[in-house]
Structure 1
């Protein structure tokens, strides 16, 4: 499991201790320290949000309502105190949340476009995957695609540097980096459907989306890369499991 995936899992569920997460914690003092910090933050947020209502809350509300009705005069003291208490809680939570650098591991929400999600994912992980060469065989690619009900019908035609699962919007994706004609190309295979084939360009990079039933094949690479041709080649060998 890479560091980014580990951080995503811990942030989404600080108490998660599945075998992969436990192995990552035991293998790295940095990961263990990160878990401790997130657990401590979780405790602080829970404590800040645990504001007990006064025992005489109901009596105060009734008293305020009665006074307003009889004297035609609004008594705002209790309302002001309640609003001040809520504002204090929000301020404390804001301070706690501000202590964490969320930008390093938060993925765009599901409402974001496929283009934006894919492009941000590539930019955020570019430094991490740039020096990796796992020399991934086709058998491992099939293993990663299996949860998405897809398999290769032939050997993958490009050299694969990196392969894993990742968070992608509201769901997951196969995340692969392989060698294209002009440079490295990033592939995402995700269960988010797309209506039509389309390309996009942003920040000196190009992208291409190929619908595959209820799944989308997304490629991001150099702006001079012929991603449409690569997508056509891959769509011929990435087949649904029947």
Structure 2
């Protein structure tokens, strides 16, 4: 198991200790510390969410509210008020601790773009210094589950290649050299209806439909992601 997959599994389930996870922890002290830190953070979140509501909280809230409003005031149910306060606190804590990469947005195309951009930011620290010098054979092996293959050599130097979780599906995740820094490619089993470009948080991207799949290219602002996508689509062949 590589380090990226190990970290992803630990963050999704801090208490997971199956054989692959344990072997990876034993092989690398940094991985072991990371797993223990995430487990401790999980415990802290659980403890923080167990909020004891003061017995006189409802009376204080009602007193403050009635002092501002002289007209008829409908007194809220104490249980509902307490639960709302606890839920609000827990939600604030979770938002501050968790990076929500798979937020659902109304448009399917927008969801692909949002997920891709968030994924780039989330995994950048783990892959930024990697250079695996990926070959065409390796790319085709990883592309097999997505029913496409390269018809010729990939035209860019590839630093990183793997599979990853992508929203409710999976994706081929590739990082390669562009004109303005590193470019990320996702090939996912989520279908898209049309070509669409997007820009967000200093990144620009394009979504290209490929039968029942979607090719997503994300690069820094100024990168010609549309041209890159066309170059890659031209050498991709359905299996």
Relative to the length of structure 2, the TM-score reads: 0.69
Q: Structure 1 residues 10, 101: CA separation in 2 closer, same or farther (over 3 Å shift)?
A: same
Deviates more, 1:84-93 or 1:125-134: 84-93
**Aligned residue number for residue 235 of structure 1:** 233
Aligned equivalent of 1:119, options 117, 121, 144: 117
1:22 Cα deviation from its structure 2 partner: 3.7
**Aligned residue number for residue 140 of structure 2:** 142
2:101 counterpart of 1:107: yes
Please give the per-residue CA displacement for 1:19-73, whole angstroms capped at 9, x wherever unaligned.
6534422222232234345556469959x99xxxxxxxxxxxxxxxxxxxxxxxx
Deviates more, 1:24-33 or 1:209-218: 24-33
**Aligned residue number for residue 70 of structure 1:** none
Partner Cα separation in structure 2 for residue 101 and residue 189 of structure 1 = 29
Relative to the length of structure 1, the TM-score reads: 0.69
Give the conservation status (yes or no) of the 8 Å contact 1:135–1:162: yes
1:197 Cα deviation from its structure 2 partner: 0.3
Give the conservation status (yes or no) of the 8 Å contact 1:107–1:167: no
Partner Cα separation in structure 2 for residue 184 and residue 39 of structure 1 = 32
**Aligned residue number for residue 10 of structure 2:** 10
Q: Which has the larger radius of gyration?
A: 1
Aligned length: 210
Q: Structure 1 residues 36, 91: CA separation in 2 closer, same or farther (over 3 Å shift)?
A: farther
2:160 counterpart of 1:166: no
Q: Structure 1 residues 10, 213: CA separation in 2 closer, same or farther (over 3 Å shift)?
A: same
**Aligned residue number for residue 57 of structure 2:** none
1:170 Cα deviation from its structure 2 partner: 1.7
Q: Structure 1 residues 144, 89: CA separation in 2 closer, same or farther (over 3 Å shift)?
A: same
Partner Cα separation in structure 1 for residue 179 and residue 208 of structure 2 = 19
Q: Which stretches in structure 2 are left out of the alignment for 5+ residues? A: 51-76
Q: Structure 1 residues 125, 153: CA separation in 2 closer, same or farther (over 3 Å shift)?
A: same
**Aligned residue number for residue 199 of structure 2:** 201
